[in-house]
Amino acid sequence: MSEKSSRRQFIDLSFRIAGIAGIGGAAALLTKRASGNAVFQVDPAKCAACDLCRTSCVLSHSAVKAVNNFSECGYCQLCPAYYDVASQPDEMGLPTGKTCPQEALKRRVVGKVDKDDPNNNYYEYTIDESLCDGCGKCVKACKPPAGNGSLHLQVRYSRCLECDACSIQRVCPQNAIVRVPTPGLSPAKKHA
């Protein structure tokens, strides 16, 4: 009798362990599948461009970069994201200081060029992502009323390691790092 009891107990325990392992494995698989269908992204409506994207990413060169929404951009001659508009002007009347510490924001004249009066020209602003460290100074300078708000920070998936727990999200005071379905609708388009 005692042998039968111990055998029964062994079989019972074995099934319990197998059941728990099965449930745990299924949970892990579902979690991995769910996280694989979503990525982290910056919600521009919440982002305060506080510099934590630069300092908190696990990468030494943050995966967060500034991007310019050209449909919103004013193509201004005197872009406050490019120029430090409070700096002393040069002989042409243009500010001598730049907003970006890394000089990652590039400027070029586009369209019909008036060489006699630069006030008549339009300028395109692009970001050199190899230099941009995601500090957000340009984003902050572009926010209304100073600018149109076309510049905003975004996670670049070519660099992002897709950590299960984003270290920037953990410290973001605005809760601006959100999960979005991969790799599709970004918060920027959601708020358009």
Q: Which is nearer to another protein, 26 or 185 (CB)?
A: 26
Is 80 or 187 the residue whose CB approaches another protein more closely? 80
The binding track of 107-126 with respect to another protein, each residue x by CB under 8 A or -, is: -----x-x----xx-x----
Q: Tell me: does residue 16 bind another protein (CB under 8 A).
A: no
Cβ proximity to another protein: between 5 and 175 the closer is 175
**Is 1 near another protein (CB under 8 A)?**
no
Angle at alpha carbon of residue 43, lines to 40 and 49, rounded to 5°: 105
Which pair of tokens denotes residue 119? Answer: 């006030």
Q: Say which residues have a Cβ less than 8 Å from residue 60's Cβ, sequence separation at least 6.
A: none
Pick the binder of another protein from 22, 24, 25, 89 (CB under 8 A).
89
The torsion angles phi and psi of 99, rounded to 5 degrees, stand at -75, -40
* Sign, Cα dihedral of 5, 10, 14, 16: positive
> Could you say which of 131, 156, 157, 179 contacts another protein (CB under 8 A)?
131
Q: What are phi and psi of 189, to 5 degrees?
A: -75, -30
Quick one: which of 39, 47, 67, 79 contacts another protein (CB under 8 A)? 79
Give the start-end residues of each E strand in the chain. 38-42, 64-68, 105-110, 122-127, 151-155, 177-181
From candidates 146, 183, 184, 189, binder to another protein by CB under 8 A: 146
Contacts of 183 (CB under 8 A, 6+ apart): 39, 157
Q: Does 59 bind another protein (CB under 8 A)?
A: yes
Nearest residue (CB) to another protein, 13 versus 45: 45
Distance CA 69, CA 151 (A): 6
Binding site for another protein (CB under 8 A): 28, 32, 48, 50-52, 55-56, 58-61, 74-80, 85-86, 88-89, 93, 112, 114, 119-120, 122, 130-131, 140-141, 144-148, 161-165, 167, 170-174
